[in-house]
Amino acid sequence: MAVREIAYDVHGWGRGKVWFADDVLVWHELPSPTHGSAAANGHPLVDRLRAYFAGERVGFDDVPIELDWCTDFQRAVAETLRAVPYGEVVTYGELAALAGYPNAQRAAGTFCAHNRLPLVLPCHRVVAAGELGSYGSLGAGFKRRLLELEGVDI
């Protein structure tokens, strides 16, 4: 199966990348500051990502994604994440319970920490009880910025 990489630039955010196998999204890197620019690309998902980062209310729940690597628990968390609405947050404990695994908040957090499809599986909408929580290598500031973009007051 051939995998195609597409880089995209977003003003004020940087350059991100998406990888597709056929028309199925298999990996996504959020934008980070970089020098130079990516070639313009008219892929429909790239256009939607740019619109999202420009502040438009864009959903990604219809984007075909590859989840063959998931366990039953991971698939349940992924499907539950897709259902968390734009502009709303849940705690890791709520995410685990909604996925059918109460008391598995740490495992839900681990899934979010290794999420290879951010925005499509919007783990930035999952917060720690009483605080924002982390956001991997991009940090809590990036998570806060995404939530502010969606109108969440943190």
Q: What pLDDT, in 10s, does the model give residues 5-46?
A: 999 999 999 999 999 998 899 999 999 987 666 666 668 999
**Do 109 and 79 fall within a single domain?**
yes
Question: Model confidence over 99-153: pLDDT tens digits?
Answer: 999 999 999 999 999 999 999 999 999 999 888 988 888 889 999 999 999 999 8
Q: Can you give the pLDDT at residue 40?
A: 60
Q: Can you give the pLDDT at residue 39?
A: 60
37 located within any domain: yes
**Do 48 and 88 fall within a single domain?**
no
Which amino acid appears at position 116 of this protein?
R
**Do 124 and 78 fall within a single domain?**
yes
Backbone phi, psi, residue 46, to 5°: -60, -40
Flag whether the pTM goes above 0.85. yes
**Do 44 and 105 fall within a single domain?**
no
41 located within any domain: yes
Q: What domain range is 43 assigned to?
A: 3-53
Q: Can you give the pLDDT at residue 34?
A: 78
Residue 87 has pLDDT above 80, yes or no: yes
Q: How many domains does the chain have?
A: 2
Q: Can you give the pLDDT at residue 54?
A: 96
125 located within any domain: yes
59 located within any domain: no
- Backbone conformation region of residue 150, classed left if phi is above 0, alpha if psi is from -120 to 50, else beta: alpha
For the chain, the residue count is: 154
From 25, 108, 123, 126, the catalytic residue: 123
Q: Is 62 exposed, middle or buried (0-12, 13-18, 19+ CB in 10 A)?
A: exposed
154 located within any domain: no
User: What CATH number is given to the structural domain containing 124?
Assistant: 1.10.10.10
Query: Is 123 assigned a catalytic role?
Result: yes
Q: Can you give the pLDDT at residue 62?
A: 95
Per-residue pLDDT, averaged over 61-65, amounts to 95
